[in-house]
């Protein structure tokens, strides 16, 4: 390794500062030194963007068994039952702990307030500040993490690759974006909790940081990925020209919002008896079908039966954001269209976050635990990050004990960078003078994925996508920065998704093939698995 690399050591390395990474880091801090790396600010994660809430069977009218049934039903025959059992059974314990750590969920009087979302048979969604649940959980976890002396948090540290020695992951390399320096971090175990990959699509509700980095570097290191064809498209993202695809939470439909086509006709009854509260994949496909039928670029979400006072209180962030684009949800119809939202697949793990590589763990959206099957049930994602983040931390301590080192400052590690930088990915790209070819190539990948590997797929379109992606020549650089690595990661995963989607010749959950428009349990009641250099396989 060249001397220009600065080397650091920690008992445990965690990549990602969302709910899964922070919960794991807090768990790990009981056993040794922990370094958490975040590629942007510490609070810039999909967790902080999560509006709807967190699902948990804690209300008087609910049962753990019902939450389990709803999750398995939404997963369309592909959930791992043992993973679902763990999620719903351990969820209440970890939610109660979050409350003890200062998370302020909304209440009705002294009792926790629960709401209902699509495909849930009971009101079991906890929310905070109306529609800022993820932000509140993130705040509480960061506050807890900052209070632990030997848990270090480092912002603007972009992880570029894993270090694998004798078939074991022993560390990672990262770029310090503040000065462009290269660093090496050695640790007893590495956890990847970098969130999802929504930026692979032209239309996405995901933050700019969601470029699939953890999944991609695990794949490059030889780890097994699973279920990558299952990408969930949220049905209702704000569709205003020039505005980002801001998510209009499912909870709006849970509170009575209805969908109308451009002729202002309610149309969901034609597609599913549950209408607006049908599972996400059903609603997303119905909207696409309706847009095609009426030759429009959007449909409308109608919340006008609710007062401005109610909306301001229940959905303050959504209401204010829509107002900033000239829309008053109390009196105006909101134009919406589907957008890429969540990947059910990821790095394949066992029930404790272990991947196929020794020393490497994954949790949250980066991992494929099998808990979501072919289609994630609304508001189960934050719960998965919480439960399986804690479980991964426990497994890391068990598998790689920290030894006799005294917890304390990490040898050779600078003080953690403060989380007050205004730097954003766009600014970083601009300031570092990156060639625009990277932006052009990123847009090409996003367009191909949206057109050919989107909500409605076919064998011909998938073959075309693979051909176009394989023909792309990525710009080469001797010393690529963050945007160069992100581009490579997006390209790698675009091909993985397209190949897995072509291999699954059926329609199930979020994966819909117009040329195989039926579920085929005989051949495909299995999980797709893929490893670098190998064809897609299907395993139970």
Q: Which two tokens stand for residue 45?
A: 């994660």
* Alpha helix ranges (H) inside 367-481: 381-399, 425-431, 437-452, 459-471
Q: Which residue has the higher pLDDT, 401 or 490?
A: 490
pLDDT at 501 over 60: yes
Tell me 376's DSSP state. Answer: P
CATH of the domain at 267: 3.90.700.10
CA gap 186, 161 in Å, rounded:
12
Within-domain flag for 220:
no
Taking phi over 0 as left and psi of -120 to 50 as alpha, with beta for the rest, 433 belongs to left
Within-domain flag for 325:
yes
Helix (H) or strand (E) holding 145: helix 133-146
Within-domain flag for 312:
yes
pLDDT at 509 over 50: yes
- Is-catalytic flag, 376? no
Q: Is 0.85 surpassed by the pTM of this model?
A: yes
> Residue 289 belongs to what domain range?
231-341
Q: Are 381 and 18 in contact (CB under 8 A)?
A: no
Tell me 405's DSSP state. Answer: P
Radius of gyration of the chain (CA): 22
Within-domain flag for 208:
no
Within-domain flag for 310:
yes
3-class DSSP string for 21-55: HHHHHHHHCCCCCEEEECCCCCCCCHHHHCCCCEE
Q: Are 125 and 5 in contact (CB under 8 A)?
A: no
Say how many domains are in the chain: 1
Within-domain flag for 472:
no
Could you report the per-residue pLDDT of 261-305, keeping only the tens digit for each?
A: 999 999 999 999 999 988 888 899 999 999 999 999 999 999 999
Residues contacting residue 74 through CB under 8 Å, at least 6 positions apart: 119, 279, 372, 373, 375, 376, 377, 509
CA gap 213, 204 in Å, rounded:
17
Within-domain flag for 206:
no
Would you say how long the chain is, in residues? 540
**What's the pLDDT score for residue 244?**
82
Q: Which residue has the higher pLDDT, 431 or 142?
A: 142
**What's the pLDDT score for residue 415?**
38
From the candidates 9, 280, 442, 502, which is the catalytic residue?
A: 280
Within-domain flag for 75:
no
pLDDT at 249 over 80: yes
Which residues, in sequence order, are bridge partners of residue 299? 336
Q: Which two tokens stand for residue 116?
A: 């209902």
């Amino acid at each position: 390794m060249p001397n220009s690399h600065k080397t650091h050591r920690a008992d445990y390395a965690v990549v990602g500062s969302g709910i899964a990474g922070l919960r794991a880091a807090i768990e790990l801090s009981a056993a040794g030194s922990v370094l958490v790396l975040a590629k942007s600010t510490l609070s810039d994660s999909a967790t902080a963007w999560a509006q709807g809430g967190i699902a948990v069977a804690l209300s008087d009218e609910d049962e753990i068994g019902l939450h389990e049934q709803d999750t398995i039903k939404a997963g369309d025959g592909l959930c791992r039952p043992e993973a679902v059992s763990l999620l719903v059974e351990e969820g209440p314990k970890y939610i109660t702990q979050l409350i003890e750590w200062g998370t302020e969920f909304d209440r009705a009087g002294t009792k926790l307030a629960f709401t209902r979302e699509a495909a849930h048979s009971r009101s079991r969604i906890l929310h905070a500040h109306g529609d800022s649940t993820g932000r509140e959980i993130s705040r509480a976890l960061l506050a807890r993490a900052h209070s632990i002396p030997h848990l270090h948090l480092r912002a603007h540290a972009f992880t570029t690759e894993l270090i694998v020695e004798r078939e074991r992951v022993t560390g990672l390399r990262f770029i310090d974006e503040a000065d462009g320096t290269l660093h090496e971090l050695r640790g007893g175990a590495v956890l990847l909790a970098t969130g999802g990959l929504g930026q692979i699509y032209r239309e996405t509700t995901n933050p700019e940081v969601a470029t699939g980095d953890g999944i991609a570097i695990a794949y490059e290191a030889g780890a097994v990925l699973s279920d990558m064809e299952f990408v969930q498209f949220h049905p209702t993202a704000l569709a205003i020209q020039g505005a980002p695809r801001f998510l209009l939470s499912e909870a709006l439909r849970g509170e009575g919002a209805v969908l109308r086509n451009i002729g202002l006709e309610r149309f969901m009854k034609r597609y599913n008896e549950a209408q607006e509260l049908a599972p996400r994949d059903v609603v997303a496909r119905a909207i696409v079908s309706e847009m095609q039928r009426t030759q429009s670029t959007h449909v409308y979400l109608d919340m006008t039966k609710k007062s401005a006072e109610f909306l301001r209180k229940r959905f303050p962030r959504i209401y204010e954001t829509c107002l900033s684009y000239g829309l008053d949800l109390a009196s105006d119809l909101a134009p919406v269209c589907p957008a890429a939202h969540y990947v059910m697949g990821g790095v394949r793990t066992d029930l404790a976050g272990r991947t196929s590589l020794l020393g490497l763990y994954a949790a949250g959206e980066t991992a494929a635990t099998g808990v979501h099957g072919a289609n994630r049930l609304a508001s189960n994602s934050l719960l998965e990050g919480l439960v399986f983040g804690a479980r991964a931390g426990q497994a890391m301590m068990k598998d790689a004990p920290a030894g006799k080192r005294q917890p304390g400052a990490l040898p050779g590690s600078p003080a953690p960078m403060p989380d007050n930088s205004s730097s954003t990915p766009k600014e970083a790209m601009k300031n570092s003078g990156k060639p625009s070819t990277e932006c052009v190539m990123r847009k090409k990948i996003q367009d191909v994925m949206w057109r050919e590997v989107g909500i409605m797929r076919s064998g011909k379109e998938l073959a075309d996508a693979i051909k176009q992606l394989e023909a792309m020549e990525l710009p080469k650089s001797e010393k690529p920065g963050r945007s160069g690595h992100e581009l490579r990661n997006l390209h790698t995963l675009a091909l993985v998704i397209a190949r897995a989607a072509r291999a699954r010749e059926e329609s199930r959950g979020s994966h819909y093939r117009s040329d195989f428009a039926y579920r085929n349990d005989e051949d495909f009641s299995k999980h797709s698995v893929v490893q670098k250099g190998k064809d897609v396989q299907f395993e139970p």
